[in-house]
Structure 1
Amino acid sequence: MISLEDRLPSEAVVNAVSDIEDSDVTDLPPLYGAIDTDALDALFTGDAATSVTFEYSGYTVTVEDNEVVFVQQ
């Protein structure tokens, strides 16, 4: 679990997965191959309750409106 802490959701997802894999973010496949990163970031700019789950680099990633990223294998 990672807090977004002033990061875009797309950045937080890549950072969370790179932390789990103990690798550099540049070693991961592009996130835009799994989800539209602009749409992902736009979903979390308002106050509406939102939750998005998708597959990325062998993980199930969930971004929630409380600004938390969950990554599960």
Structure 2
Amino acid sequence: MEYEIGAGESVSQAVLRCVSQFEDTAITELPLLYESVDPDALNRIFTMQCNSRVSFAFSNSLIDVYNNEYLTVEAA
């Protein structure tokens, strides 16, 4: 699944929304994001003006974030 990160939406918020949709699970039922990745550090990486890609596992999914523009989610 590909998800476009909205204007004003943090990367960590986008991850939660996308994984929630992909896994058909309420955001409140997902594991805590900080158990997989530091949400503040994740957001900071993409506030810099550079091409970045970060990959990590969260819940039952594998996430790839590209340039603060979009992310992809696939089954782990």
TM-score interval, smaller chain: over 0.9
Q: 1:35 and 1:66 mapped to 2: Cα distance?
A: 16
> What is the alpha-carbon distance in structure 2 between the residues aligned to residue 44 and residue 66 of structure 1?
5
Q: How much does 1:66 deviate?
A: 5.2
> Tell me, which stretches of 5 or more residues in structure 1 are unaligned?
none
- Matched-pair identity in %: 34
Equivalent position of 1:39 in the other structure: 41
Matches within 5 A, 1:47-58: 47-58=49-60
Aligned residues: 73
**CA RMSD for the aligned pairs?**
0.9
The runs of at least 4 aligned residues of structure 1 exceeding 4 Å deviation read: none
Q: Aligned partner of 2:44: which letter? A: A
Aligned letter for 2:42?
A: L
Q: Deviations over 1:17-54 (max 9, x none)?
A: 10012221001001000001000000111211100000
Segments of structure 2 that go 5 or more residues without pairing to the other structure are: none
TM-score by length of 1: 0.94
Whole-Å separation in 1 of the counterparts to 2:26 and 2:68: 26
Partner of 1:2: 3
Q: Is the contact between residue 53 and residue 66 of structure 2 (CA under 8 Å) also seen in structure 1?
A: yes
